[in-house]
Amino acid sequence: MSGEPQSIRVLVVDDHAVVREGIRHVLSDDAGFSVVGEAQSGAEAIVSAAELQPNVVVLDISMPGGSGLHAVGEILERASGVRVLMLSVHEDVEYVLESVRVGAHGYLRKDSTPAELREAVRALHSGRTYYSPDLALQMAEALRTGNETKVAAPALATDVLTSREREILVHIAQGKTNKEIGAELGISARTVEAHRDSLMRKIGIRTVAGLTRLALEQGLLK
């Protein structure tokens, strides 16, 4: 028994029960996969990933209460060696590029075949990336022509932030706490927290590391 290959442990995250059941059925038909849990929101996915330590998380990109993209950073932090496959109805390349930016390892459209889903999960588990073929071509073209920054700009540019939110983003990237930021700006820590939540929601980044990287990319840190 010890010589038999272990099945790939998969966590399925989607707010629709019928989709989760469909994915479970597709993967359970193959002995190489084991669906170890399900979640219906990004917050649940973070908790489940920490508890279950899956090899691969199949994560819906659009769910009530926030994009699945918001959960990627914390999932990667809490589950050792986990790989994240985004699942989406969106065909626009900006969603793919944004997924790459937040740390996802693959992107699959929801109209993909069962065989393609299994292939994608296997690819991620083996350390490779996987993207729906047509989207991979679009992404390669965007990278080749240097348009990836422009394409991803609507979701990530700091020009969607207020001047106060940009100011707080800089302080966060400098490693300051809400209390320290509040003292420096003359506002309460609670107000800082409100601005922090707002800016994270607008740009779709929920980790300090991600915010710091964005501040560096945008030239906000001197």
Exposure on the CB side of residue 42, measured as CA atoms within 13 A: 20
Q: pLDDT tens digits for 86-125?
A: 998 877 777 788 888 888 999 998 989 999 999 999 999 9
| Euclidean distance between CA atoms 115 and 78, whole angstroms | 29
pLDDT at residue number 151: 42
Domains in the chain, start-ordered, CATH in brackets?
A: 8-144 (3.40.50.2300), 157-217 (1.10.10.10)
Q: Return d(Cα 23, Cα 117) in angstroms, integer.
A: 8
191 burial via Cβ count (<10 Å: 0-12, 13-18, 19+): middle
Residue-by-residue DSSP string for 88-144: ES---HHHHHHHHHHT--EEEETT--HHHHHHHHHHHHTT--EE-HHHHHHHHHHHH
Query: For the chain, which ranges sit under pLDDT 70?
Result: 1-5, 65-66, 138-159, 221-222
Residue 9, number of CB atoms within 10 A of its CB: 19
Using DSSP bridges, classify how beta strands 130-131 and 106-109 pair: parallel, antiparallel or unpaired: parallel
At 41 the pLDDT is 92
**How far is Cα 148 from Cα 82, in angstroms, rounded to an integer?**
26
Question: What pLDDT shows up at residue 3?
Answer: 52
87 vs 23, 83, 116, 186, 191, CA distance in Å? 11, 13, 12, 43, 35
